[in-house]
């Protein structure tokens, strides 16, 4: 064999190996490239979907804040003194009293209400229930006096 033929055979076997490598691994490389492209597209679509959901949730939160502020204004309007007076007049027939309709009662300086002693209560009624009832009566009278003196 000649040196030229031997060199030619070496080159030809390298070419065959290269062609064989491309034929063997080209489909795998193409599938890998296609998988990378599809994965990138999928990840972008997921990111876009998440951004849309985030925008929708931010809009919903803003709408709820606006609704909350509107409800707070509505509650403030319902609690307004003028509205309460108007509703009392319209629905219940109440009127604002005139100066001549108001009667001021003078109450003498309040001395501390006497707490009934056991001896006083025992003379009138009998038993522990009578003592408690006497204390409650004194408490009610003191509260009534405080309410009328305001």
The pTM (predicted TM-score) of the whole model is 0.40
Name residue, tokens 């006083």. Answer: 120
At 99-142, the pLDDT tens digits run: 888 787 777 766 666 665 655 544 555 678 888 888 888 888 88
At 52-82, the pLDDT tens digits run: 999 999 999 999 999 999 999 998 888 888 8
Contact (Cβ atoms closer than 8 angstroms) between residue 81 and residue 94: no
């Amino acid at each position: 064999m000649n040196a030229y033929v031997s060199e030619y055979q070496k080159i030809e076997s390298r070419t065959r190996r290269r062609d064989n490598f491309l034929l063997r691994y080209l489909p795998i490389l193409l599938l890998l490239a296609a998988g990378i492209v599809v994965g990138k597209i999928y990840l972008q679509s997921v990111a876009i979907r998440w951004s849309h959901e985030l925008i929708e949730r931010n809009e919903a939160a803003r709408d709820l804040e606006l609704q909350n502020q509107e409800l707070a204004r509505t509650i403030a309007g319902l609690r307004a003194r003028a509205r309460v007076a108007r509703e009392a007049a319209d629905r219940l027939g109440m009127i604002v009293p005139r100066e001549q309709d108001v009667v001021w009662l003078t109450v003498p300086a309040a001395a501390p209400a006497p707490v009934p002693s056991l001896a006083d209560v025992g003379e009138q009624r009998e038993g522990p229930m009578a003592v408690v009832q006497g204390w409650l009566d004194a408490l009610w009278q003191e509260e009534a006096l405080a309410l009328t003196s305001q």
